[in-house]
Amino acid sequence: MPQDKTGGARSSGSKLSVLRKHPIFSDLEPEALDQLCRYAKHTTFKRGSTIAAKGDPGNSLFAVISGTVKISSSSPHGRSAILNLIGPGEIFGEIAVLDGAPRTADATANTNCEVYIIDRRDFLPFVRSQPALAMKFIELLCARLRWTSQQVEQVILQNLPARLASALLGLTEKHKLDSGRGTIAITQQEISEMVGMTRESINKQLRAWSARNWVRLEHGAIVVLNAESLRDLAESGADTE
């Protein structure tokens, strides 16, 4: 269950500081940022908690302060697909908030998380009064669409090793890690659900790459050692094993 800390741990000044650093809200005028702070409710979620479920009304926007949120979807037969991992400085839930339709995926706390929740009834009038913010959301939606198109292209056109390489590179870039070396906090099960491969196939491929010193496997993490070789593999779409 979420724990509301609005009246305790975070003062208005702290809230202001966090939102000012957020890429979506960083260019707001001070008065507008103050207004947004009044709308934002600080909440924590323990790892594994459901933040929002597929089909729920889209009545809130979420801004991640700390931790990672998993966006996923499941089939009636129990298969799960991870659509995205949302980290600090990112938002989610914007599509349902903007169009008023039910949520299209589940949002789960992949780690202990802190988020700001902004109610749709407050947020929509606020966006209408801030044209620059509306443009930021248009840019965000365009980025989401490009990312989705890229994911579909990879599933259709790339073989399994190339898809895994693309996923590792995407996660590295997403979290602004060094292009030649970076640690990705993700389990093999989670990455299997991202690329549509079995965990066994993921493990086999990662161990082959580990033997080549392309990656190093750690508990709950993958360290990218040779991004260039992974990039060549992803672009060729062919296994070099």
Residue 33, classified by CB atoms within 10 Å of its CB into exposed (0-12), middle (13-18) or buried (19+), is middle
Domain layout of the chain by residue ranges: 3-153, 158-236
| Edge-to-edge strands, sheet with 221-224 | 182-184, 221-224, 215-218
> For each of the chain's 241 residues, which pLDDT tens digit applies?
455 444 444 445 567 777 787 778 888 888 998 898 899 999 999 999 999 999 999 999 999 988 999 999 988 877 888 988 998 888 899 988 888 899 999 999 999 999 999 999 999 999 999 988 889 889 888 988 888 888 787 777 788 899 999 999 988 877 654 434 478 888 899 999 888 888 999 999 999 999 999 999 998 889 999 999 999 998 887 544 4
pLDDT (0 to 100) of residue 23:
78
Backbone angles phi, psi at 138, to 5 degrees: -60, -45
Residue 178: the pLDDT is: 40
The architecture in CATH of the region 3-153 reads Sandwich (2.60)
pTM: predicted TM-score of the whole model, two decimal places: 0.77
Find the angle CA(165)-CA(146)-CA(72) to the nearest 5 degrees: 65
Distance between CA 82 and CA 192 in Å, rounded? 9
What does the pLDDT read at residue 180? 43
Q: Kindly report the CATH number that applies to the domain delimited by 158-236.
A: 1.10.10.10
